[in-house]
Amino acid sequence: MSVGGHQAPPIFRRGPAPLVRLFVYVTVALAMLVMDLRFRYLEVFRQAMTVVTYPLQMAASTPADMVRNASTYFATLLQVQLENRDLRRKQLEAAEHLLRSAHLEEENAQLRGLLDMGQRLKVKSVAAEILYNARDPFSRKVILDKGSQQGIEAGQAVVDARGVVGQVTRVFPIQAEVTLLTDKNQAIPVMLPRNGLRGVAFGAGQGILELRFVEANADIKAGDALVTSGLDGVFVPGLPVASVTRIDREVQAFARILCEPAAGVERAGQVLVIGREAPPPALPPEPPAPPNKSPRRKGAASE
């Protein structure tokens, strides 16, 4: 329609009614749905649209995924830290139990050795435990947890499962002091079972003994075992004392012989205090000396 010979501007043009357009669009959509259900002609189009829109989907879901992954990470990290702390605690407890079990096994082995040693000896013995070292740093002495109330006396021998450890030097009511073989003031008479050679072993400090007053040409060699001779009446004869480790025959008239203790002198924990054997019979009395008779002079005899 025109007014005065002019057409109306496009802005005033009117198309189909909205209801008509809605009907057309719905009809087209239903037709496309029916055709797609029957012929599947939009499958390729859908796949192409999925590929095209995938980056947009990923970009849209990235913030949510980051928040979800961060929360999962921190929750997992906290759980792992708690589990590690629990595992460390259990590991420490297991290590403590293992060390305690090893200590108990070693202690049981020592006690079994002491029991076997006590059964082999035919004298009274008292089992004791070393409490601590003596206060004097220049001597090798230890303190036992048994004393005179348990029948321990000064001078008694102290052994472990492998041999002689030392000798009781002082006794208190519930404790006793033991001087170790390695103390420089300690000496013990020994014998070489291989040939019966006797000598005296002295403490030389630093965990070793020295066999003194043995001639340079004596029949002794490295590896020989030394046992108590029993000549002093204190140590039971036959107890292991030490083994020869080094011999120097070129020093002087007497050889310098170093020995390693057979017992765990510096490491003993459980020990056995051995009583003395029955004292040997007394020596027979010496016969009286005959009276001195003055010789008679020849002149007096002739008269």
Tens-digit pLDDT profile for residues 14-64: 667 888 888 888 888 888 778 777 777 667 777 777 777 778 777 777 777
Q: What pLDDT, in 10s, does the model give residues 146-164? A: 899 988 988 888 888 888 8
Q: What pLDDT, in 10s, does the model give residues 224-233? A: 999 988 887 7
**Residue range 248-253: mean pLDDT, rounded:** 76
Neighbours of 125 (CB within 10 A): 22
| Bridging pattern class, strands 6-7 and 164-171 | unpaired
| CB distance 158 to 272 below 8 Å | yes
Kindly tell me if the per-residue pLDDT of 272 is higher than 80. Answer: yes
Measured in degrees and rounded to the nearest 5, phi and psi for residue 232 equal -85, -10
Kindly tell me if the per-residue pLDDT of 100 is higher than 70. Answer: no
**Residue range 256-274: mean pLDDT, rounded:** 85
Q: What pLDDT, in 10s, does the model give residues 112-140? A: 666 665 556 666 788 888 888 877 777 88
pTM for the structure as a whole: 0.55
Query: In the numeric block, which tokens belong to residue 185?
Result: 């003031």
pLDDT at 99 (0 to 100): 65
Per-domain boundaries in the chain: 21-120, 125-274
Which residues is 279 bridged to in the sheet?
none
pLDDT at 280 (0 to 100): 53
From the list 234, 254, 256, the residue with the least C-alpha distance to 246 is 256
pLDDT at 301 (0 to 100): 44
Least confident of 145-154, 244-253, 274-283: 274-283
Question: Quick one: what percent of the chain has pLDDT higher than 90?
Answer: 11
**Residue range 217-224: mean pLDDT, rounded:** 88
| Residue at 203: amino acid letter | G
CATH number for the domain formed by residue range(s) 125-274: 2.40.10.340
pLDDT at 62 (0 to 100): 77
**Residue range 169-180: mean pLDDT, rounded:** 92
Kindly tell me if the per-residue pLDDT of 296 is higher than 90. Answer: no
| CB distance 158 to 165 below 8 Å | yes
Q: Which residues of 234-271 are buried (b: 16+ CB within 10 A; e: fewer)?
A: bbbeebbbbbbeebeeeeeeebbbbbebbbbbeebebb
pLDDT at 302 (0 to 100): 44
Neighbours of 113 (CB within 10 A): 16
Coil, strand or helix: which one is 260?
strand
CA torsion sign for 170, 171, 177, 182 is positive
Using the 8-state DSSP alphabet, how is residue 11 labeled?
A: G
pLDDT at 288 (0 to 100): 73
Which one is predicted more confidently, 289 or 83?
A: 83
Across the chain, mean pLDDT equals: 78
Which one is predicted more confidently, 38 or 177?
A: 177
| CB distance 162 to 262 below 8 Å | yes
Kindly tell me if the per-residue pLDDT of 300 is higher than 60. Answer: no
